[in-house]
A = this chain, B = another copy of it.
Amino acid sequence: MKHLRKELWFNIPGRRGFVNITGEVEDLIQQSGVMNGLVLVNAMHITASVFINDDEGGLLHDYEEWLEKLAPFNASGDVYHHNRTGEDNADAHMKRQIMGREVVVAITDGRLDFGPWEQIFYGEFDGKRRKRVLVKIIGE
């Protein structure tokens, strides 16, 4: 069994943002030499997501608005008890649950085994700091 581990680092200038990381994951699969296997891509932080969807600007805008509706930002500890700890990011912990922590993708013939529009995104919900994504590849 072959395996490869790599961290991708991000520092999103705003509070929230989405970054397409498909190319970086594809490159790591080639480096690994794995022809058939699985790649796990996960946020290493609990206020961020890795998810797969369409790279279309309107849709990313819609996600932003929709998540704000389902889990609104509110810095006060009256709404979110988590924010009584000095944090203001309780909403980010919720947004991340909806979008998910991780994706697992098949590797076939040494490539991401993807449908026509699948793209891997890093989703940041509490940015302005350095944060990481883990890529772990196993197979042969």
Q: Which of A25-80 touch B at CB < 8 Å?
A: 36-38, 40, 42-46, 51-54, 56-59, 61-63, 66, 70-71, 77, 80
Main secondary structure of the interface of A (DSSP, over half): mixed
* Chain A interfacial residues counted at CB < 8 A: 60
- A36 pairs with B3, CB closer than 8 A: yes
* CA of A1 to CA of B34, assembled, Å: 12
What are 28 A-to-B residue pairs whose CB atoms are below 8 Å? A1-B36, A1-B37, A3-B36, A5-B106, A5-B108, A37-B138, A38-B38, A42-B105, A43-B115, A44-B114, A44-B118, A46-B53, A51-B101, A54-B82, A59-B80, A59-B82, A59-B90, A61-B81, A62-B80, A63-B97, A66-B94, A70-B70, A98-B98, A100-B100, A101-B103, A104-B104, A108-B136, A138-B139
* CA of A77 to CA of B5, assembled, Å: 41
Total identical chains: 3
How many whole Å from A76's CB to the nearest CB in chain B? 12
Is A102 an interface residue when CB atoms closer than 8 A count as contact? yes
With a CB–CB cut-off of 8 A, which chain B residues contact A40? 38, 104-106
